[in-house]
Structure formats: structure tokens, C-alpha cells
Chain A
Amino acid sequence: MNIYIRPEYEVVRDENRCIACRVCERQCANEVHRFDPETGRMIAESDKCVNCHRCVCLCPTHALKIVKSDDTYKTNANWDNQTINEVYKQANSGGVLLSSMGNPKPYPVFWDKMLINASQVTNPPIDPLREPMETQLWLGRRSAAIERDEKGRLKNTLAPQLKLNVPILFSAMSYGSISYNAHESLARAAEELGTYYNTGEGGLHKDFYKYGKNTIVQVASGRFGVFEGYLESAAAIEIKMGQGAKPGIGGHLPGAKISADVSETRMIPQGVDAISPAPHHDIYSIEDLRQLVYSLKEATAYKKPVIVKIAAVHNIAAIASGIARSGADVIAIDGYRGGTGAAPTRIRDNVGIPIELALAEVDQRLRDEGIRDDVSILVGGSIRSSADVVKAIALGADACYIGTAALLALGCHLCRTCHAGRCNWGIATQRPDLVKRLNPDIGYKRLVNLVTAWNHEIQEMMGGMGINSIEALRGNRLMLRGLGLNEAELRILGIKYAGESM
């Protein structure tokens, strides 16, 4: 017996506006809309609706809206509708609950409890429209031994560095989890912006090798698509140890999503599940991690920075300290709100810690141990605006990864149903008829627009603080004040309360 679960959202059609043009029907891969020839009207089945707003956006007469259903079980502050429905779903199926995108639960967002400083009277703000405002930066190990050759000239002992024109990179999203056109949009935008996109664990499509100098390639436990040419083509190599949306568990791309093209890119057979085990089975310690870091450096003749990506978890500072000593050039930390193409709901919503707290702890620990300059710090999961970027850098990050925000720019409406593979916006799908809805010529421009706009805003905020270089903002926590935070939160973030003077 399956208990009927009423849909959370309902499709509402304004019959006075609807002209039965059937655009909604053609646009919906979930087959919500259909034309009834008997009445000559459109009918919607809300049960199938994932609330992706594709029909709402494309309806030429704006006749559609999606509303939250007012149907409710008897109100209960402990057992809300969602919690009850999840029990029903599991009792119906016996399955693990599977969700997509970042943790939507109402946990505190610490970005929104930090405020940025501005100069008044004693040190003047800078106007970025008339004075240079530097947002260019380099990622990589900065500490280098001073060595001279026999003529006394300084030898270049600096480790390889990644140059960024903006303090924003596109985070790892694999081909397979997102579409070819989404990848092309990210790659072209990264090239135009002077930054990087990240292949995720899905290999690098043969068409995208030409964007290699703006590409970070990932090496994860499944090693999909990893071979000499892949490593050689990239600007940097990222070892994925963990992901904020699902710390401690691996990945699993179902065989149904392994199309011919995805198969070729991942270098695995078509139709067979692609399983990334939870651990790297050759890594059980920092020494083992060091082995993987150096095997990659040896394979690429020490020409490329190696990034180690981890999820923000409880003992993050000690883990990051170990990574900084493993030979990695950059540590990427992914917070518990980071997105995903599919994760067990319980893991996504309950495992990991906020990126704000993790970042502050890591930066402080590396400073205390005198090894902060041995690595750069990248943070993601989730960075939602230019203000989040400024706050992250003031807390100690070198630059930020954006994933969800980039997908929103491409049309994603956060329906959180990526795992179904029927993305009506052509992003999280491999169905050719859906993929072609995302035009990379437009998609890449929208990404460039977003990051360019954020960069202007970052420059404005920096100017307001009287800071003219992004590197002078890094770890400058006096530029932040807390609001609505308790003592422990202020201590971990290393900031004063709003109104407190230096």
C-alpha cells in the first residue's frame, strides 16, 4: 500500500489569459501540462511538477504561477509536513531519500550576521571609478627559499601560481551531472573573465581541451577520465577528498546518465554505473595524501599547482594543517550548503559545518602554526553574492568558488531535482532535446555579466574600506563586525561585535 502524498506546490493557470498555445506542454519534461481536446483547455498535473518555473517563464501570456499548496496535515511544530511526507516515502519504497543542490534547511547564515566596514574622515575611501582597484591575485604556495646562483643572482624558487583577474572561480561540476552546453558556457566564461572553471570528476570533453589554460581538472577516488593528456592540458589539478553537500560519502552517477559522450569523456563503458568510492583507497593518512599530491606533481613535472578539496567538517583546522604540510599548493574548503547533482537528503541536511566558521578556524590555525603562506585557501558552499566574497576574503580566503550562483545565472531555478536528469533548463540533464535549450553563446555571456557585476561591487566595497588591493583585504578581520552572534561564534569567527571599537 502506497500512501498518497499531496504535492507541495500547485500549478495555477489563469484561464482568462491562457490561449492554449501548448508551450507549457512542450517545455515540461516532467509532463505536467497536457491539452484536453474535449474542452479545448490545458490541464496541469501538479503531482509531477518540480517547481522549476520553466513554464512560468516561457508562457507568452503569463497565465501560469506555481504556489505552495495550502493543504496541510494537522499543524505540528515537531512533525511538519515535509518530515511526515519523508516517512511516508520511505515506508512506501524502502529507499534512501535522494535530493539535489544545497542544504535548504533554516540553519543560520553567518554571512548575513557579519557587516563590512567603511572609511569615514580619518582615512579616505577610494573611488574605484577614478583610481586603480586591484582584484587580480595569484593562488599557490607563496613561501619560497631564497637561493642565489654562482653570480649572486636570485633564483626563481617560487612554486607554480594560478593567476586570477577576479577572486571568483567556478566550482567543480562534472560533465554528466551537468550538460555539455553548461560546461561550454562555464569554460568560455572562465576564459573571458581570466579565471578558471573546474571539470569535477567527470573527465574533460575532447572539445574543451582548448580551454585548458582556464581549466582545473579534478582527480577523485573513481579517477574518471584521468590520464596523462588530461593532467597535462590543465592549469591546475584538484584532488577531491570531499564535497560540502555530502561529506564522507562518495559519488554515484547512475548508468542511465552515462550517454555515449559522457562515457567517452569519463573513459568508462556506457550504461554502467559510475561509482566514486567514499575514500580514496590509497589514502589513509596525510602521508598517503602527500603521495598522491607528489605523484601528480611528478607526472606533470612540477609545472602545475595541486589543490586539495575537502568538505568543512568538525576537525577542519587540524585536517587543513595536515594538507598544508602534504605539499598541496591550495586548499579548497566546501561548506555544508554547497550544491550537488545528487546526495542522500540526510547527509546533505545534517553533515558538515558552515563554511564561514570553517574558514575562520582554518585561517587562524595556519597562521598560528606559521604555515599560512604555504598554501592558498579557496572557499565555496555557499557564496551567494559579492558581499559574501568580500566577507570570505576578510575572514582569510584567497578566493571563492561559486557553483549554485553560476547555475542560477544559466537559468537554474533551484527546483532541487537534478538527480531526476530531466532539467527543463538544459543544465542538469543529458537529454539532447533539453540540453539544446541552454545556448552556450547566451549562457557564457550571462556568467560573464554576473561575475563582472560582482567584481564591480567588490571594488566598490574595497574602495569604501580604503583598500585598493584584494590581497590587502585577505584576513583583514578588523573590516568585519558581528551582529546577532554569541560569544562562541564571535570567538571562532575572530571578529568583534558591531559597535565595538578596535
Chain B
Amino acid sequence: MRIDATNMHFADLNAAVRNDSEEEIVIENCIGQRYIAAGSSERHISVIGTPGNALGAYLNGTSVRVEGNVQEATGDTMNCGSIVVNGSAGDATGYAMRGGVILVRGDVGYRCGIHMKAYRENKPAIVIGGRAGSFLGEYQAGGTIVVLGDRRGGKPIIGNFCGTGMHGGEIYLRCEEIPPLLPAQVRAERVSELPEDVRSLIGAWCGAFGEGAAAYLNASYIRLVPNSANPYKQMYTDN
């Protein structure tokens, strides 16, 4: 089904999506409607335009592709499924996501992948084509974040405070040098060979946006991991 979202309120648009029986849905002329595909499962939703905040919140298996930029809190607490953004994404992208994958062609804002966590077979992943803002992977507890740092025009690949409070998961940065000023909870190392799951994530990103994989796979990467899975263990005394 095709839905023309021009001048539609988000509640009406989302009710139309929810109540539609078709698996394939195309939303055209999207102009900032929030919560599209919230909690959705087993759908394929294409969005043309700019969806509003909390696109794909609690997403539960649906695949979403956006031709345009997305705003804040995309994929909040997403459980499984995929969100592909042919544009850039705002702040708190992938907040607390537990599974599924978010592919962003351009940049992401602050706090991307904050409190992302993995659980058994659920291993969430975010691949960012451009640069990431400050607080990337803050409190990260699991999953994989890859920053490809494309078209960054001499600017740093990540902002400040990357991985503050990180206690699980991993971050891959496509760059030559270990970024300065990483917090104490983070250990940085050069990657000699990209693991297979990361290669396939990068492959998926290239496939989604029609980019050649060679330049991204045959590059140098820095890997960030937490120093300890129990960062606060020694902080307390019984009273």
C-alpha cells in the first residue's frame, strides 16, 4: 500500500500503517511524523521524505528503509529488524537497542548507540558511513558499532567522550590513529584483521547504498572495547 503522508497527523499515519494488512508499505511525502513503525513486526516499510523522532522504536522485526534523513531516537529499544537510512541520522540513534541492524549512509548526531546491549543470539549493530557525534557508544553493554568516516573533510571521525561508561560490546573506527582523549573505561587497539561479522556488516552497508566494498574492507581500523565488564565493582563499601 502507498500512503501519502502530506499533512497527516502522526497518530493517523501510524494507525493507517498498523491497520493495513499488506506486508509492503510505502509512505510518501513524509514530513516529520513521529513513531513510524513503533513496535512493528514482519513488515517492509519504505519512507520517502523525513520521518520524525523515534522512527522504529521497539522495532520487532520489520525492515524500514528511509530515502532521506531521520531525526532523533531512531530505533529506540529496537529488538530486531533493520533500519536503513539513505541520509544522516539525529541524536540517540539506536538507544538501548538489543538486536537488529541500523545502517546510516551519512553522519549520526550525539549519543549514537547509547546503552546498546547484546543478548544471546541478539547482537545489535550500527554502521555509520560518515562521522559520529560526541558520546558515541556511551554505557555500551553489547553489540557492534562501526564508523566508516567517509567524506569527513579532515574532521575527526568521532566527537568527544566516546564510550564513556562502556562495559560491553565493541566499536570499530575506520582510521589510522587511535583518537585522543578516550575515557579510562575504554581500551583501544589496532585491528590486524577485521572479524568476519564486522566484514559482513560493512558488506551490508555497501550493498544497501551501492558502494564498492574494497575501500572499506581493505582499510585500517581501530577497535574500542571496555576495560572491564564490572566497572563499578570496587566503588562501594557495605553500610
A255-B234 Cα distance, complex, nearest whole Å: 12
- The reply to whether the CB of B119 lies closer than 8 angstroms to some CB of chain A is yes
A113-B9 Cα distance, complex, nearest whole Å: 51
Selected contact of B230 from candidates A99, A231, A254, A344, CB within 8 Å: A254
- Which parts of B77-120 form the interface with A (CB within 8 Å)? 77, 79, 91-92, 95-96, 98, 111, 114-115, 117-119
A301-B35 Cα distance, complex, nearest whole Å: 11
CB-CB contacts of B164-208 with A at 8 A, as 1s and 0s? 010110000000000000000000000000000000000000000
Selected contact of B239 from candidates A98, A255, A295, CB within 8 Å: A98
Q: Are B95 and A282 interface neighbours, CB within 8 A?
A: yes
Q: Are B14 and A269 interface neighbours, CB within 8 A?
A: no
CB-CB contacts of A382-413 with B at 8 A, as 1s and 0s? 00000000000000000000000000000000
Q: Are B239 and A298 interface neighbours, CB within 8 A?
A: no
- Which parts of A358-377 form the interface with B (CB within 8 Å)? none
Q: How far is the CB of B132 from chain A (nearest CB, A)?
A: 15
Residue of A nearest to B15 (CB): A301
- The reply to whether the CB of B233 lies closer than 8 angstroms to some CB of chain A is yes
Number of residues of chain B lying within 8 A (CB) of chain A: 49
Selected contact of B38 from candidates A90, A219, A232, A299, CB within 8 Å: A299
CB-CB contacts of A203-243 with B at 8 A, as 1s and 0s? 00000000000000001011100111001100000000000
Q: How far is the CB of A237 from chain B (nearest CB, A)?
A: 11
Q: How far is the CB of B151 from chain A (nearest CB, A)?
A: 27
Q: How far is the CB of A479 from chain B (nearest CB, A)?
A: 40
A406-B34 Cα distance, complex, nearest whole Å: 40
Which residues of chain A come closer than 8 Å to B235, judged between CB atoms?
Answer: 95-96
Supposing A282-B95, A298-B38 touch, asked if A269 and B168 sit within 8 A by C-beta, the answer is yes
Which residues of chain A come closer than 8 Å to B92, judged between CB atoms?
Answer: 281-282
Which residues of chain B come closer than 8 Å to A232, judged between CB atoms?
Answer: 39
Q: How far is the CB of B19 from chain A (nearest CB, A)?
A: 9
Which residues of chain B come closer than 8 Å to A277, judged between CB atoms?
Answer: 115, 139, 165
Q: Are B119 and A226 interface neighbours, CB within 8 A?
A: no
CB-CB contacts of A266-295 with B at 8 A, as 1s and 0s? 011101110101000110000000010011
> Which of A89, A226, A281, A345 has the most CB atoms of chain B within a 10 A radius of its CB?
A281
Q: Are A252 and B35 interface neighbours, CB within 8 A?
A: no
Selected contact of B236 from candidates A95, A231, A299, CB within 8 Å: A95
Q: How far is the CB of B23 from chain A (nearest CB, A)?
A: 17
A89-B38 Cα distance, complex, nearest whole Å: 49
Which residues of chain A come closer than 8 Å to B50, judged between CB atoms?
Answer: none
Q: Are A291 and B39 interface neighbours, CB within 8 A?
A: no
A406-B115 Cα distance, complex, nearest whole Å: 32
Which residues of chain A come closer than 8 Å to B231, judged between CB atoms?
Answer: 273
Which residues of chain B come closer than 8 Å to A93, judged between CB atoms?
Answer: 237
A268-B98 Cα distance, complex, nearest whole Å: 9
- The reply to whether the CB of A300 lies closer than 8 angstroms to some CB of chain B is yes
Selected contact of A231 from candidates B39, B165, B232, CB within 8 Å: B39
Selected contact of A269 from candidates B53, B114, B142, B239, CB within 8 Å: B142
A344-B229 Cα distance, complex, nearest whole Å: 21
Which residues of chain B come closer than 8 Å to A271, judged between CB atoms?
Answer: 229
Q: How far is the CB of A499 from chain B (nearest CB, A)?
A: 43
Supposing A254-B230, A273-B232, A298-B39 touch, asked if A345 and B14 sit within 8 A by C-beta, the answer is no
A98-B35 Cα distance, complex, nearest whole Å: 40
- The reply to whether the CB of A419 lies closer than 8 angstroms to some CB of chain B is yes
- The reply to whether the CB of A58 lies closer than 8 angstroms to some CB of chain B is no
Supposing A275-B141, A291-B53 touch, asked if A228 and B39 sit within 8 A by C-beta, the answer is yes
CB-CB contacts of A75-116 with B at 8 A, as 1s and 0s? 000000000001001101111111100000000000000000
Which residues of chain A come closer than 8 Å to B122, judged between CB atoms?
Answer: 267
Q: Are A222 and B115 interface neighbours, CB within 8 A?
A: yes
Q: Are B111 and A281 interface neighbours, CB within 8 A?
A: yes
Which residues of chain A come closer than 8 Å to B117, judged between CB atoms?
Answer: 267-269
CB-CB contacts of B38-60 with A at 8 A, as 1s and 0s? 11010000000000011001101
Which residues of chain B come closer than 8 Å to A417, judged between CB atoms?
Answer: 238
A226-B76 Cα distance, complex, nearest whole Å: 11
- The reply to whether the CB of A162 lies closer than 8 angstroms to some CB of chain B is no
Q: Are A273 and B167 interface neighbours, CB within 8 A?
A: yes
Q: Are B233 and A254 interface neighbours, CB within 8 A?
A: yes
Q: Are B98 and A267 interface neighbours, CB within 8 A?
A: yes
Q: How far is the CB of A227 from chain B (nearest CB, A)?
A: 4
Q: How far is the CB of B229 from chain A (nearest CB, A)?
A: 5
Q: How far is the CB of B165 from chain A (nearest CB, A)?
A: 7
Residue of A nearest to B117 (CB): A268
- The reply to whether the CB of A420 lies closer than 8 angstroms to some CB of chain B is yes
Supposing A228-B79, A272-B168 touch, asked if A299 and B237 sit within 8 A by C-beta, the answer is no
Q: How far is the CB of A293 from chain B (nearest CB, A)?
A: 11
A228-B56 Cα distance, complex, nearest whole Å: 12
- Which parts of A301-317 form the interface with B (CB within 8 Å)? 301-302
Instruction: Give the 4 A-B CB pairs with smallest separation, nearest first.
Output: A95-B237, A299-B39, A223-B96, A97-B239
Interface residues of B (CB under 8 A from A): 10-11, 14, 18, 34-35, 38-39, 41, 53-54, 57-58, 60, 72-73, 76-77, 79, 91-92, 95-96, 98, 111, 114-115, 117-119, 122, 138-139, 141-142, 165, 167-168, 229-239
Interface residues of A (CB under 8 A from B): 86, 89-90, 92-99, 219, 221-223, 226-228, 231-232, 252, 254-255, 263, 267-269, 271-273, 275, 277, 281-282, 291, 294-295, 298-302, 344-345, 417, 419-420
7 pairs, CB–CB < 8 Å, chain A vs chain B: A93-B237, A96-B237, A228-B41, A231-B58, A281-B92, A281-B114, A294-B54
Can you name 12 extra interface pairs (CB under 8 A) apart from A272-B229, A291-B73? A94-B237, A223-B98, A226-B58, A268-B141, A269-B141, A275-B232, A277-B115, A282-B72, A294-B54, A295-B34, A295-B57, A298-B34
